[in-house]
């Protein structure tokens, strides 16, 4: 069975592999592909049936809209309305781990399903050569959520995609482990104040240096603006215990920093948050074993990338 799946993983992504993946997108199929953040489950964003397939395969609720990936700003600006703040952020951070939520243009060609009934669209230009090559070869914007079943831990390798979605995906392009390892930062620029909908790979303070203050959405009073941030998410199959000093009997231990026994699985021995973000999903998956009662995770600083890491851990720990 595994071997059969393996045929769908296109290892070194030669031109032939890329052409096959692009043809799959054009034919309305699903291609999992690497970005610098996590692997995406991609489909032609202008094809309603293909976009519907993404929701089906992930078991994703239809109220949770998708991010649309572009290779450049020319094609992107035909779909959404840019304001000054969007222009500044795009200039500073694209291609990169930043998603902007902007008003849809009235003649926007992107499937309405991808917006889940909202009059906005989440858009991003990923900073990964394979993602760029795929979007360019398919010659269409690609709608792509993270390539995992809804609610599960996001995938940072092609193997993770195979474990989560296996034969439900037509093709998996393998670009190795994702460099950033945590999803993009999502900023809503469609209202009167820029709002952080999801902390992610680009630290909010960096964005504020470019556009000034960004309001934090806690998701509760703003359900319509951040429909994807409500659920238990990023969750392993066993319980997660946060801010742990040590493991209780039967628990796996996920450490951070240098003040622990070297044999523990450690997000970063050096206490480097960038390294911790890159390791987070792979290590959670590794420790998500039925022989453990749960996973005890050490306290992670709440500064810089630690904000996004703690956001994911908190959601993963929600029962």
What residue ranges bind ligand TXA (CB under 6 A)? 35, 37-38, 40, 64-67, 99, 101, 115, 118, 120-122, 124, 126, 144-146, 183-184, 186, 188, 197-198, 225-229
Q: Which is nearer to ligand TXA, 194 or 294 (CB)?
A: 194
Quote the CA–CA distance of 104 and 139 in Å, as a whole number: 20
Q: Which is nearer to ligand TXA, 118 or 247 (CB)?
A: 118
Tokens of 71: 């290779």
Partner touching 18 among ligand TXA, Mg ion, none, CB below 5 to 8 Å by kind = none
Quote the CA–CA distance of 296 and 277 in Å, as a whole number: 17
Tokens of 107: 């003649």
Burial of 177 (0-12, 13-18, 19+ CB in 10 A): middle
Quote the CA–CA distance of 25 and 170 in Å, as a whole number: 9
Q: Which is nearer to ligand TXA, 134 or 244 (CB)?
A: 134
Q: Which is nearer to Mg ion, 185 or 266 (CB)?
A: 185
Q: Which is nearer to ligand TXA, 101 or 307 (CB)?
A: 101
Partner touching 110 among ligand TXA, Mg ion, none, CB below 5 to 8 Å by kind = none
- Those residues whose C-beta lies under 8 Å from the C-beta of residue 289, and which sit 6 or more positions away, are 238, 252
Q: Which is nearer to ligand TXA, 217 or 266 (CB)?
A: 217
**Residue 99 binds to Mg ion (criterion: CB under 5 A):** no
Is cis: bond before 278, omega within 30 of 0?
no
Please state the closest distance from residue 98 (CB atom) to ligand TXA, in A. 9
Partner touching 311 among Mg ion, ligand TXA, none, CB below 5 to 8 Å by kind = none
Please state the closest distance from residue 249 (CB atom) to Mg ion, in A. 33
Quote the CA–CA distance of 81 and 86 in Å, as a whole number: 9
Please state the closest distance from residue 249 (CB atom) to ligand TXA, in A. 35
What residue number has its CB nearest to ligand TXA? Answer: 228
Q: Which of 71, 111, 146, 226 binds Mg ion (CB under 5 A)?
A: 146
Q: Which is nearer to Mg ion, 132 or 146 (CB)?
A: 146
- Whether 155 and 162 have beta carbons less than 8 Å apart is answered as no
Location of structure tokens 């792509």: 144
- Whether 287 and 295 have beta carbons less than 8 Å apart is answered as yes
Instruction: Give 201-240 as a 3 state SS string.
Output: CCCHHHHHHHHCCCEECCCCCCCCCCHHHCCCCCECCCCE
Please state the closest distance from residue 227 (CB atom) to Mg ion, in A. 12
Q: Which is nearer to Mg ion, 97 or 296 (CB)?
A: 97
Please state the closest distance from residue 64 (CB atom) to Mg ion, in A. 9
120-124 and 98-103 beta bridge pairing: antiparallel
Please state the closest distance from residue 134 (CB atom) to ligand TXA, in A. 12
Quote the CA–CA distance of 17 and 9 in Å, as a whole number: 9
Partner touching 197 among ligand TXA, Mg ion, none, CB below 5 to 8 Å by kind = ligand TXA
Please state the closest distance from residue 74 (CB atom) to Mg ion, in A. 27
The contact set with Mg ion (CB under 5 A) reads 146
């Amino acid at each position: 069975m595994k071997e059969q799946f393996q045929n769908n993983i296109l290892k070194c992504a030669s031109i032939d592999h890329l052409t096959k993946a692009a043809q799959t997108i054009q034919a309305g199929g699903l291609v999992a592909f690497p970005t610098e953040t996590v692997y995406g489950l991609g489909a032609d964003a202008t094809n309603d049936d293909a976009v519907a397939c993404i929701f089906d395969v992930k078991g994703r609720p239809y109220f949770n809209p998708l991010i649309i990936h572009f290779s450049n700003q020319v094609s992107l600006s035909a779909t959404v309305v840019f304001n000054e703040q969007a222009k500044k952020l795009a200039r500073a951070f694209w291609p990169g781990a930043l998603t902007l939520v902007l008003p849809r243009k009235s003649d926007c060609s992107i499937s309405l399903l991808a917006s889940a009934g909202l009059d906005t669209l989440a858009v991003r230009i990923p900073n990964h050569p394979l993602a760029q090559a795929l979007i360019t070869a398919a010659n269409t914007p690609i709608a792509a959520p993270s390539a995992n079943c809804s609610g599960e831990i996001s995938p940072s390798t092609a193997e993770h995609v195979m474990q989560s979605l296996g034969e439900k995906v037509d093709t998996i392009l393998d670009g190795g482990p994702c460099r950033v390892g945590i999803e993009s930062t999502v900023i809503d620029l469609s209202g009167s104040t820029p709002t952080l909908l999801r902390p992610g790979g680009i630290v909010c303070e960096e964005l504020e240096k470019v556009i000034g203050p960004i309001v934090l959405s806690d998701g509760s009073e703003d359900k319509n603006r951040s429909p994807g941030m409500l659920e238990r998410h990023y969750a392993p199959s066993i319980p997660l215990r946060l801010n742990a000093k040590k493991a209780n009997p039967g628990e796996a231990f996920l450490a951070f920093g240098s003040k622990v026994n070297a044999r523990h699985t450690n997000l970063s021995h050096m206490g480097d948050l960038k390294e911790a973000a890159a390791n987070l999903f792979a290590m959670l998956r590794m420790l998500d074993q039925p022989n453990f009662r749960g996973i005890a995770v050490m306290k992670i600083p709440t500064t810089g990338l630690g904000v996004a890491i703690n956001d994911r851990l908190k959601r993963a720990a929600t029962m």
